[in-house]
Structure 1
Amino acid sequence: MNMALTSQQRNAVLLSVAKLICDEKLALLKANKTDIKKYVGEDLAMYERLKVDEEKIKEMILSLKQLVADVDPVGKELYNFTHENGLKITNKTAPFGTILIIYESRPDVTVEAAGIAFKSGNKILLKGGKESVNSNLKIVDLWHKALAQNKISTEWVEYLNYSRAETQSFLQHPTQKVDLIVPRGGEKLISFVKQYATCPVIVSGRGNNFIYVDAEADLEIALKVILNAKTTKISACNAADKVLINSSLPNKEIFIKKLIENLLEFNVEILGDGALSIFENVKAFEDEAIWCEEFLDYKIVLGSVDSSAEAIEKINKYGGGHSAVIITKNEETATTFMESVDSAAVYQNASTRFTDGGQFGLGGELAISTDKLHHRGPMGLQHLVTNKWYIYGNGQIR
């Protein structure tokens, strides 16, 4: 494979992929129809992620064009120091090398995540789920055409059409050098990768997000935010699963009844703790473990807390470390909550659905990391680099 590609070469390939997706849109939609027909699972979120339509194709093309317009993340100077002996020492961003992306049912990852990894100077290995194999292979074919058109080796983007056993074997004994693995999918996928991987893994995509309705909440905002966070896209890791309501909330009963009524309009199954399961259409749950669960479904848990401190404690104990919200008019309460909750993104009076690379102005995202090392939260182009030290001397010895 060629040495490092220039910024111009990488951008040229991305533009070629965008053009090919546009030109071969019908073939891509046809390949996706085959995947959709073959999908027999009951998982609503999986199905939603699998489907490619005109809108998703527009998003794929837009994401590639945005990447081209974005600043090259490689070679950016982070630090500069001149030693007393005359050594010039700089630290600059550098590609990881080879990034393996393992994902379920989302053909757009084959475009967007691969695009981000490629623009940041990395070789890409893609391991998609069997449910989206036709869509993925079609997109990888377009990647290869784009690379060939620009006289660049097709080895820069490779698809691993592996079974689970073959994937496990590759993770344990890679047949080529892999520098970073990004699993994108449910908890089972993440724990499978973490169990067998022999190189660093960035954990992405687990939500279980909480919304806390404080005693000084604006109830209109609370309703609007909860409904948006729960119902607009249940397959998203930034959807909300738990709502904690302060027991001293004025007009609490009216608010809870209104919330239940609104959730039922969207056919959301409502579960509640001891204090809230007394309401009509709220089922009591038996197992406390439900607080840890990410639903990816039309399902929500309502709980009662006596204070902001109790809400913080509960979120830190059970939340996924992804996103958490406080609904309050009290700035001081909000500040304490936002500084104390251990999540990648913390909000006051807004929906969790904004935790997303595009929404945060990053263009797109490779992943939403809930790890604390390397990077936390939405990982965009500028975060998908490591760093390297460059030292210039003229014979210095120590």
Structure 2
Amino acid sequence: MIDVQGLYALGKAAKIASRSLSKLPTTQKNAALQAMANSLREQTPAILEANQADIQATREQGRRPESFIERMTLTEARVEDMAHGFEKVANLPDIIGHTDEMWITEDGIEIGKKRVPLGVIGIIFESRPNVTADATALTFKAGNAVILRGGRETIESNLAIVKALKAGLNRAGVTEDAVNLIDNPDHALAEEFMKMNAYLDVLIPRGGNALIQNVVRNATVPTIETGIGNDHLYVHEAADLDKALAILENGKLQRVSVCNALENLLVDEKIAAAFLPRVAEAFKKDKVLIHGDATTQQILSEYDVQAATDEDYATEFLAYEIAIKVTSGYEEAIEHIQRFSSAHTEVIVTQDYSVARRFVEDIDAAAVAVNASSRFTDGDKFGFGGEIGISTQKLHARGPMGIAALTTYKYVIYGDGQIRK
């Protein structure tokens, strides 16, 4: 395991690597991405063996819920998804070197705005080992080096994945220092990592609110804040209830441990009596714990509904659990969302076009969906080939962060001897 001295050596190596990566031709980048995909497939048995060791150790400690175990679990299908992700990123356009715009000033100076890599990107994340692969694919295509720091529960999984990725890079004739893993989960080392301004150009935390806020508060390296997903579904009185139920089931139940899963359900009082019993029945199979306001409890008196608190409405459950509120109408629903939203993804189901337009304008979030599942807020589903995370802040990047979010720009100025007067 590396110590502080080793951490800075890692940073120096990544910085040097970033200079060559910024100039790699597109064909060589894409060949390396394909080589890394092939290496992941070849080393799937070793990756799964390492992942099972992580899962066993985590279960033996007995401190993590099953939803956490689910997030850290890899299968053959999930490793194949990681490999396929590299291939999808390889097929995306290379925007490095692209000139966004160009103009000539009154002095005859030609100015171009050129897309360039960020440099070295640090990523601190928790329990999902697939982040190791996703982050590498996107940062590499954008011409960056990456330094990864995952959670202690998935250290063996991450080591196995990085070993495969480095083998692919080596096979493609590209520096292995394009991807780097901090193999020591010590928190003091993580604190040092957050202050490596000499080597890191940006730091991206990905995980729960505690992790994200710790990085935001303590990092001296510029940070892109990815947010938690306290996401709402608002079923308007003019909703198609069949569509609403399908969107609710997909958003809440397809995968409960992700940030684009639904955590709050708001239902207009005019349709609550017709809709909520259908919701309760749909949730029975998965034993979803419902927190409801007084009206919800009254309508669902035959079901076990716990009294909802403000804390429930503010919670990202990441589990088979949801908070429900019956609203008097649109204005109360908007007020509730504005109060409790984490500005990740907010959804309305309505057949009223005017209401849908109002919702899009009234809601301040990274993503706003009309008659579609919250699960579509995802870099892959957006066509980005994957994502580094979903930013809920407003500076530099917002929403699913693909290749473009991992670049910046510089102004290139062409003259012919002009001087300023």
Q: TM-score, normalising length from structure 1?
A: 0.95
- Does residue 142 (structure 1) correspond to residue 164 (structure 2)? The answer is yes
Work out whether residues 102 and 182 of structure 1, in 8 Å CA contact, stay in contact via their aligned partners in 2.
Answer: yes
Counterpart secondary structure, 2:112: strand
- Does residue 12 (structure 1) correspond to residue 34 (structure 2)? The answer is no
Work out whether residues 235 and 296 of structure 1, in 8 Å CA contact, stay in contact via their aligned partners in 2.
Answer: yes
Alignment of 1:278-297 (within 5 A): 278=298, 279-280=300-301, 281-285=303-307, 287-297=309-319
Work out whether residues 308 and 323 of structure 2, in 8 Å CA contact, stay in contact via their aligned partners in 1.
Answer: no
109, 129, 152: which one pairs with 2:174?
Answer: 152
Offset, 1:188: 1.0
Offset, 1:176: 4.4
Query: 2: distance between equivalents of 1:255 and 1:124?
Result: 48
Query: 2: distance between equivalents of 1:243 and 1:92?
Result: 44
Offset, 1:277: 1.9
79, 99, 104: which one pairs with 1:82?
Answer: 104
Aligned counterpart, 1:254: 274
262, 270, 277: which one pairs with 1:240?
Answer: 262
Query: 2: distance between equivalents of 1:286 and 1:116?
Result: 40
Instruction: Read off the aligned partner of 2:35 and give its amino acid letter.
Output: S
- Does residue 316 (structure 1) correspond to residue 335 (structure 2)? The answer is no
Alpha-carbon deviations, 1:272-325, whole Å to 9, x = none?
012212222243436312211100000011101112121112111101101111
212, 225, 228: which one pairs with 2:247?
Answer: 225
Offset, 1:74: 0.9
Alpha-carbon deviations, 1:319-371, whole Å to 9, x = none?
11011111111000111011111111111112111111111122211111111
Q: Which moved more, 1:163-172 or 1:209-218?
A: 163-172
Alpha-carbon deviations, 1:137-179, whole Å to 9, x = none?
111112222222233322221111231121012213x274111
Alignment of 1:13-92 (within 5 A): 13-40=32-59, 41-92=63-114
Instruction: Read off the aligned partner of 1:271 and give its amino acid letter.
Output: H
Report how many aligned residue pairs link the two structures.
395
- Does residue 125 (structure 1) correspond to residue 147 (structure 2)? The answer is yes
Compared CA separation, residues 299 and 286, structure 1 to 2 (3 A):
closer
169, 177, 183: which one pairs with 2:192?
Answer: 169
Query: 1: distance between equivalents of 2:332 and 2:187?
Result: 42
Compared CA separation, residues 262 and 327, structure 1 to 2 (3 A):
same
Q: Which moved more, 1:146-155 or 1:78-87?
A: 146-155
Alpha-carbon deviations, 1:19-54, whole Å to 9, x = none?
111111111111111111111233233211211111
Offset, 1:205: 4.3
- Does residue 269 (structure 1) correspond to residue 289 (structure 2)? The answer is yes
Unaligned runs of 5+ in 2: 1-15
RMSD in angstroms over aligned alpha carbons? 1.5
Query: 1: distance between equivalents of 2:150 and 2:295?
Result: 44
Counterpart secondary structure, 2:294: coil
Query: 1: distance between equivalents of 2:241 and 2:42?
Result: 49
Compared CA separation, residues 345 and 356, structure 1 to 2 (3 A):
same
Work out whether residues 90 and 389 of structure 1, in 8 Å CA contact, stay in contact via their aligned partners in 2.
Answer: yes
173, 181, 194: which one pairs with 2:216?
Answer: 194
Alignment of 1:336-351 (within 5 A): 336-351=358-373
What fraction of aligned residue pairs are identical, expressed as a percent? 36
Counterpart secondary structure, 2:266: strand
Instruction: Read off the aligned partner of 1:167 and give its amino acid letter.
Output: A
Query: 2: distance between equivalents of 1:286 and 1:343?
Result: 24
Q: TM-score, normalising length from structure 2?
A: 0.90
Alignment of 1:84-103 (within 5 A): 84-103=106-125
Query: 2: distance between equivalents of 1:231 and 1:358?
Result: 19
Query: 2: distance between equivalents of 1:58 and 1:359?
Result: 17
Instruction: Read off the aligned partner of 1:373 and give its amino acid letter.
Output: L
Query: 2: distance between equivalents of 1:45 and 1:371?
Result: 26
Query: 2: distance between equivalents of 1:27 and 1:8?
Result: 29
Aligned counterpart, 1:389: 411
Query: 2: distance between equivalents of 1:211 and 1:175?
Result: 41
Aligned counterpart, 1:304: 326
Unaligned runs of 5+ in 1: none
Instruction: Read off the aligned partner of 1:138 and give its amino acid letter.
Output: A
